[in-house]
Structure 1
Amino acid sequence: MTMDTAASRSAFTAWLRSRWLPVTVIAVVLVFGLYYPVGMLIAHKIDDRMDYEVPAAELPAGGSRTVAMAAALIDREVNRNGWVANDPFFMPGSMLDNMPNYQLGMIHALGRFAFQLVDQIGRTRGSSQTDRDLQEAAGLLQYSGTKWIFDFSTSLLPTAKSEEQYRKARASLLNYNQRLSTGNAVFERRADNLQATLERIALDIGSASAAIDRRIQDGNATFIDWEADDVFYSVKGQMYAYYLILRELKQDYPNLVRDRELAGTWDQMLASFAAGASLKPLVVWNAKPDAFILPNHLGSTGFYVERSRTQIYEIINILQK
């Protein structure tokens, strides 16, 4: 029995030696054939939980819930879920399409809101000094989300990765919130500050609506529009980030919401943002708006974008009275 086993092993070893090249090729094909698909499945995560809450440790007493949410979203997407928009070609995440656009859409919204923190909410008047932490965070959030260690289109030298810049932005937001909790920073809760912030958000999602319209016009002439999902998930990311920001903003302005009787209108607006951010088609279709069989998911998203925008302006009108 032992001799038979040894003979079998010897025969198998001889067979491998005689066929080492095809065996090696097959092994390499199997490894790489599994590396990308399995890696993509592991990396892919579109986190659109509407009940997402800021970790208690990141919300100091007396701080802003909205600022804490912005910092928490950066932490979640960069450190916990993993930033994939800048993955190089040898990483499985580089083959993903929907998740990168979703993350980029979220960062876009957070970056736009950060500007409002600098210009409106985080200073007493337009002529007062801007907050250093908010200004730094706003600048860092404008950094391209697709930058890896090397960007040969601009330089042969290493450059700052997107994640590094966003982590710095998060640190600045947390530092501002900590100073706010101790009375060493400003968070204006006047109606005109909130109104100006809402106006900028309305303008930004108006741009998203325009992007949807352009994609519908340019892409529905073909049976499969390969760029429709890029626009869809980018807008979905914006809507999701704005939903959470606006949800917390309501908590940061409790007296104003109560005095102007905004609670009902605000909740309706949040419901529209949530509906737009919750769409999860298996395949994103960009058929003609009057198509009989295939849907137009961009049109569906566009409806909720415009509805949300209209409801923001309803709140703005109430604040103006």
Structure 2
Amino acid sequence: MERLERIWLSIWDRCCSARFLQWGLGAILAWLLVALVLGMFWSSTPDGFDVRNQAELQTDGKPVIGTHTAGTLIHMTETLLDKPGGYLSNDMFPPGLWLDNMPAWEFGVLVQVRDMSRAMRKSFSRSQSQSTEDPALAKAEPLLHFDHRNWILPSSEREYRKALKLLRDYRDRLGDTSQPNAQFYARADNLRDWLGDVSTRLGSLSQRLSASVGQRRINTDLAGDSAGRQSTAADGEMEVKTPWLEIDNVFYEARGTSWALIHLLEAVEQDFGEALDKKNARASLRQIIRELEATQSTVWSPMILNGTEFGFLANHSLVMASYISRANAAIIDLRDLLSQG
């Protein structure tokens, strides 16, 4: 009898162990499936938005010069923080930990947010170099330059939300005629300075995208150095190639940069309209926007393809580089146009 009981107990233990194992595996598979679906949903880039509509919503239908640019900057920052999945660049747990395309997109947008906040602080909100900077913008810019991957004590999101409050304060004072201490100077020279930063960013992105297939380049690091410090090594060629695992990251960073610039340029067209019309430059600005809009076309492939220049497979990075290079060339022409008397 005791032997029979031991046999039944042994069988029961084995069944329980097998059932526990099945439940454990089932739970893991279910979690992985949910994480996969969430990851796909979170990796969808946000849609564009109407700049003029945002300015009207944020100012109760009474936008003034500067509120389009400030409102666009605010809404882009809000999109970074509040889109599906939230801000993913500093996630420490799955599925956000596994995703790399969306964090790259976020960084591209964040760089443009930082550049515009700096332009607003040092140029757009000041009448001249000796004038006092706006106190809210002076505090907001360094907060936006906080490490984008910091997840605790303090987190990146916390610092960016502090910056948002300060940007909203500047926007509200800008639209309040009873508070003349907030200004926005929509001059051609201010716009030209910001476009110089944009051109530099796009030029770097174009080079990084083109390096997806590997290139032999002349080392131009010391080009134009009058001190005669160029060595024979600097005059030679070097091999430049983006690591395979970083190709899609560079692509999505460029895509995020372009998404941000489309909206910022549309806002600039509204706020700097008078300066653009005086220089006959509005059409040039619109052409830049059209070139950048092409970078937002749907990617039908499940992955970023990296074929050779004239090979059988497409190379998405080279296509992106082509659009960005054309936009950058148009920006250079626009800056020349704005510098003319």
Same fold (TM over 0.5): yes
CA drift of 1:191 comes to 1.5
Classify the secondary structure of the residue corresponding to 2:245: coil
Q: 2:98 aligns with which of 95, 100, 104?
A: 95
Distance 1:268 1:221 in 2: 31
Letter in 1 for 2:159: Q
Classify the secondary structure of the residue corresponding to 1:86: coil
Q: Tell me the residue number matched to 1:65.
A: 68
Superposed CA offset, 1:34-55 (max 9, x none): 2421331343321143656526
Distance 1:244 1:17, change over 3 A: same
1:41 paired to 2:45: no
Distance 1:221 1:288 in 2: 12
1:253 paired to 2:272: yes
Q: How does 1:166-315 map to 2 (within 5 A)?
A: 166-182=160-176, 183-217=180-214, 225-278=244-297, 280-282=299-301, 283-291=303-311, 293-315=312-334
CA drift of 1:297 comes to 1.0
Distance 1:134 1:24 in 2: 55
- Judge conservation of contact 2:55–2:68 (CA < 8 Å) in 1: no
Classify the secondary structure of the residue corresponding to 2:46: coil
Deviates more, 1:24-33 or 1:114-123: 24-33
Distance 1:122 1:216, change over 3 A: farther
Q: Tell me the residue number matched to 1:24.
A: 23
Gaps of 5+ in 2: 1-11, 216-238
CA drift of 1:303 comes to 0.9
Q: Tell me the residue number matched to 2:225.
A: none
Name the TM-score, length of structure 1 as normaliser: 0.84
Distance 2:241 2:286 in 1: 38
Q: 1:113 aligns with which of 113, 116, 128?
A: 116
- Judge conservation of contact 1:54–1:68 (CA < 8 Å) in 2: yes
Q: Tell me the residue number matched to 1:143.
A: 146
Distance 1:203 1:18 in 2: 62
Superposed CA offset, 1:244-279 (max 9, x none): 001110100121122222221111111011112335
Distance 1:179 1:266, change over 3 A: same
- Judge conservation of contact 2:54–2:71 (CA < 8 Å) in 1: yes
Gaps of 5+ in 1: 1-12, 150-158
- Judge conservation of contact 1:50–1:274 (CA < 8 Å) in 2: no
